[in-house]
Every structure is written in C-alpha cells, then in structure tokens.
A = this chain, B = another copy of it.
Amino acid sequence: MPDTAQPAIAAKRRRHGGRAGNTRRSGPVIKQTPWRLPRNIDRPTEPLGPEQVARVHDAVMRVLEEIGIEFLHPEALEILRKAGCTVAGENVRMGRDIVMEVIAQAPASFTLTPRNPDRQITVGDGHILFGNVASPPNYMDLEIGHKVPGTRAQCRNLIKLAQYFNCIHMANGYPVEPVDLHASTRHLDVLFDKLTLTDKVVHAYSLGPERVEDVVEMVRIAGGHSHEEFAQTPRLYTNINSTSPLKHDWAMLDGWMRLARRRQALVVTPFTLAGAMAPVTMTGAVVQSLAEALAAVVLAQIISPGAPCVIGTFTSNVDMKTGAPAFGTPEYMRATQMTGQMARFYGLPMRASGVCTSNVPDGQAMWETEHSLWAAIQSGTNIVYHAAGWLEGGLIACPEKFIMDCEVLQQLQRYMEPEICDTSDAALALDVIAEVGPRGHFFGTDHTQARYETAFYQPFLSDWKNFEAWQSAGAVWTAERAHAQFKLIVNEFEAPPMDPAIREELAAFVERRKREGGAPTDF
C-alpha cells in the first residue's frame, strides 16, 4: 500500500490539528532563547592517541605525495605546478613541506558579516554555530504527508524558519531545491528570497562562474556596500564537495578559486562513504577525506594566502545490505571525532553536520540526529550544516523536523552555558540547605524565588505535561506539535527590515540577469 503514509498522517492532522493549534494560546510568538554565538566549553572527545594522530597525518601526507589528487581545472593545475607541485595530466602530487607551509597561512578563526552586522558570526575561536538543511531535492510535511519535489513556496517557508529561530546562525544553501524554478535562473530567485527574508550570513553554490558572481553581487547589493566596502571582510561562504575518490571537478574549483581571490569563506567537504567512494575502514575513509580537503585548502592558500578556509567532514558508512548511505551511526560519530582531532592538528576550523537516515520526523530521526550533533560537539566542530530540517539522508527537507531540531539545538546551546556549573557560595547554597532543613521544601525560599524564572531551560516544543494533562490537550505527538508551530511561525513571520531602495536594486538585478538568460545549465 504505497500511499499509506499520506492517509496516515492526514488522519493524524485531522485528529490533532485543532488541538495542536492550541499552542497559539501560549502567545503569538514562540518563546525562544535569544541570538548568541555559543562557545563549546567541553573538552573534545579524542579516540586517537598522539601516535595515532601522527600515523593518520603521515597517511594523509602520503596520499598527497604518492597518490595525488585530480584537479579537473587547467588554471588550478597551472597554479599548483608553479607552486612546486608535481602535475601529471590532471593528477597533482604535493610534498608535505609545501602542504604544511601553505595551510599554516590559513586563519584559525574568522568572521562572516551579513547585511545585518548584528548577525555577524565568528567561525572558529571555540564557537559552535548551526545552519539549516541545504539542498534536498524533495520536501515533506505532515499536511502533504509524503515526499514531493521541492517548490519555491516551500523553500521560502523553510527560509523563514531559518530566519525565525535564533539558534540558527547561518542561512545555508537552498533549504529545499525549488525544482519549479528553471535551473538557469533558480539561484537568482532563491537568493532574492534569502536576502529579503533573512539578514543572516548566506552561502553561494559553486555551480559555475555566473551563479557565483550573481550571488556575490546580490550579497553586495543587499548589504548596501560599494565594491570597496564589500571587499573589506568575508561576507558569504561557499561549500565545495570533492568528487571522491581523489577528485575536484571544474565547477567546484572555479567557485573555490573565484571566492578565494575575493577572500570570501571557503568550506571543503569531501563526501567519503566508507565502502563506496572511500575505504571500508573508517580511518582509511578519514585519511582520504582529509587528503581531498587539504588539497583544496592548499590551492586556496597559494592563490590567496590567509584566505578563510574550513575543513568539512561527511564521512559515514553505507548500509552494507543495500549500499545506501547511513547517517548518525556509531562509525559516523567516531569518523567525525577523528576528523576533529586532525582539524585541530592542522589548525583549521571544522564543519560537520546534523544528519539522519530516517524518512520521517520520528524517534529514529531524533536519535540519529542526536548522534550527529553530539559528534559535532565532541569533535570541536565550529559550524554544523544541515542542523535543522534534514531527513532521508538529505533527500527530504521537512519543516516539522526543522522545528524539532531547533528545540534540540536550543537545549544544546543552553548546555554550553557555564552558569549551570556555577560554584560560587550563592550557587553551592549551603545556607539555603541549612535553612530548609530535613522537613522543608525549597520552592518557597528567597534563593529559589530570586532565580526560578531563569534557573532552567524552558522548551518551546517539548511537552512536559503529565500524561493526563497531555492527553486532555489532544494527545499530540511531537511531530504534530511541530507542525502546528510551523504553521504559526510562517503565518506570522515578519521579514527583517530592508531599505526599499536596496530591495528595488536587488529586484532590478534579478530582472536584468533573467533577461540575460541567467546561468548556463550545461555544466
């Protein structure tokens, strides 16, 4: 019965929609925690000992020295040849002396400044920052009830969520691919939506020169910057994926080099599935991923010494029964932690992800996503992609999952607040323990009354009612509560302010570029 999911979820909606709508009673806006750049105060989890780190490093260097990486871009080959690398056809081998000298020029941390300077973020420096899901071709919500191709309307709603939640620091690439927009001009429409619906840092896909240049120009216009002002500091970022094993393709390298020259932020994330495009052993897959990533960082640093670069990890395992990728697995967690150790060894900021394999926003989705988020924390990751809204290994974007993830992200950000572990005399509270004694209750004390409103994290989605109260409120399961909040948020969403003149200039740019035909789609 291939359509089971739809009536199933539709039935739930009928059953609970009205009641779930009651969350509106709690006020027009969800009570969320304020915007902040959380610092990861936990010591990283380090499965590798010092000798093992040295062995992994040596293996990475030997891949670069003895096996080499293919750069499918003539200009990149020429730049690397001039820098002393050994180029044979498209294969580039580089000595560890060059690699280590060049990557040492990359900054350990840097800022990204969007059109609203109050939304500036610092990548590195102990921060852990979160961005929304990016690039799923499909969408699902509990009202539609099954997987459908993405549309601009759905994309806009997800962009609104990315702007709405303070725990989301970056407006990553398209939260769902709006396949109802023609590929040649899609980037223009989505960037217009992103730059008008959000004031957070945005991203440029490295999918051909025209797209990259269009995005850079639109970010400049949206910020009201002159070309000179724009060039003064990083304002956007790109993320490239190597074509594992051991390859960087033309379009990705073009965007990479283009934005390196403009000194925008550069994230390179090999997608190394152990057993498929990388060795079946997790350490082997990590070695290959690091070699592919460092090769791109070397190119960027040769072109533009000191350009802000980030090493990303996307090393997981396949399901050996089906060959399909699995995410949030134990092996994924350790691969992420090992990559974190190596990123610190190389002195580069790191990117990981909030990912799962589950097809719906259920229990499995949340334990898999928790595993990937804890791996990010344990690895000292600085930016977490796909941290809200990801399902089916990245093939589905889901607003209910987005909101469930934001509840978790808020809790993780609260977890990072050192005040919880305050050991001042007032916090140790000996006098209060003495005052209350063996027969008392602490609620009535001044000590509690002065603190209780801010002492503990208050969730916006978790339901802490007892069973009976929860049942009489409609017995609404988490995903259905999230659906009601999704409706509430998008219906009441207010876009951040933008100078009408800037908005017009942005619209005119989009109009002109559409008349010119947008970007070629034959890459």
Instruction: For the complex, give the distance between the alpha carbons of A466 and B393 in Å.
Output: 8
Contact of A35 with B by CB under 8 A: no
Contact A474 B4 (CB under 8 A): yes
B441 to A2, Cβ gap below 8 A? no
Judged by a CB distance under 8 angstroms, whether A420 is at the interface is yes
Interface pair A432/B467, CB less than 8 Å apart? no
Query: Is A324 part of the contact surface with B, judged by Cβ < 8 Å?
Result: yes
In the bound complex, residues from chain B placing their C-beta under 8 Å from that of A358 are: 462-463, 478
How many A residues touch B, CB cutoff 8 Å? 137
Chain B residues lying within 8 Å of A503, measured Cβ to Cβ, are none
Name, among A5, A467, A479, the residue most crowded by chain B CB atoms within 10 Å (CB to CB).
A467
Interface hits, A267-285 → B, CB 8 Å:
274-284
Q: Is A395 an interface residue (CB 8 A)?
A: yes
A451–B281 touching, CB < 8 Å: yes
Would you give the shortest CB distance from A80 to chain B, in whole angstroms?
15
Alpha-carbon gap, A3 to B12, bound state (A): 14
Contact B477 A362 (CB under 8 A): yes
Copies in the complex: 2
How far is it, in angstroms, between the C-alpha of A337 and the C-alpha of B225 when the chains are bound? 48
Name which of A127-135, A174-182, A367-375 contacts chain B. Answer: A367-375
The answer to whether the Cβ of A186 comes within 8 Å of any Cβ in the partner chain is no
Residues of B within 8 A of A501 (CB): none
Shortest Cβ gap from A470 to chain B (Å): 5
Residues 423-448 (chain A) with a chain B CB within 8 angstroms? 423, 426-430, 432-434, 436-438, 440-443, 447-448
Query: CA of A276 to CA of B442 in the docked complex: distance in angstroms?
Result: 5
Q: Which of A296-345 contact B (CB under 8 A)?
A: 317-324, 326, 329-331, 333-334, 338
Do A467 and B359 have beta carbons less than 8 Å apart? Answer: yes
Pick from A7, A69, A357, A418 the residue with the most CB of B within 10 Å.
Answer: A357
**Shortest distance in angstroms between A443's beta carbon and chain B's nearest beta carbon?**
6
- CB of A411 closer than 8 Å to a CB of B: yes
Residues A281 and B455 in contact, CB atoms below 8 Å apart: yes
Give the residue name and chain of the B residue nearest to A243 (CB).
Answer: B438
Chain B residues whose C-beta falls within 8 Å of the C-beta of A447 in the assembled complex: 279-281
Q: Does the CB pair B463–A359 fall under 8 Å? A: yes
Cβ of A415 within 8 Å of any chain B Cβ, yes or no, is yes
> Do residues B284 and A338 form an inter-chain contact, with CB atoms below 8 A?
no
Q: List 3 tightest A-B contacts by C-beta distance, closest first.
A: A284-B429, A5-B475, A279-B429
Would you list 19 pairs from A and B whose C-beta atoms are within 8 A, ordered by A residue? A2-B471, A8-B12, A8-B475, A55-B423, A69-B438, A70-B438, A274-B455, A276-B441, A276-B442, A283-B429, A284-B428, A288-B433, A320-B453, A321-B464, A362-B363, A362-B478, A364-B461, A366-B367, A366-B370
A→B interface (CB under 8 Å): 1-5, 7-8, 11-12, 15-16, 19, 41-43, 45-48, 52, 55-56, 59, 62-63, 66-67, 69-70, 91, 138, 146-147, 245-247, 274-284, 287-288, 317-324, 326, 329-331, 333-334, 338, 357-371, 374, 392-393, 395-396, 404, 407-408, 411-412, 414-415, 417-418, 420-423, 426-430, 432-434, 436-438, 440-443, 447-448, 451-453, 455-458, 461-468, 470-472, 474-475, 477-479
Q: A59-B428, A59-B430, A63-B433 known; 16 other A-B pairs, CB under 8 Å? A: A4-B471, A5-B475, A66-B430, A66-B434, A67-B437, A147-B468, A245-B442, A318-B456, A334-B420, A357-B463, A358-B463, A362-B479, A363-B366, A364-B478, A393-B466, A395-B467
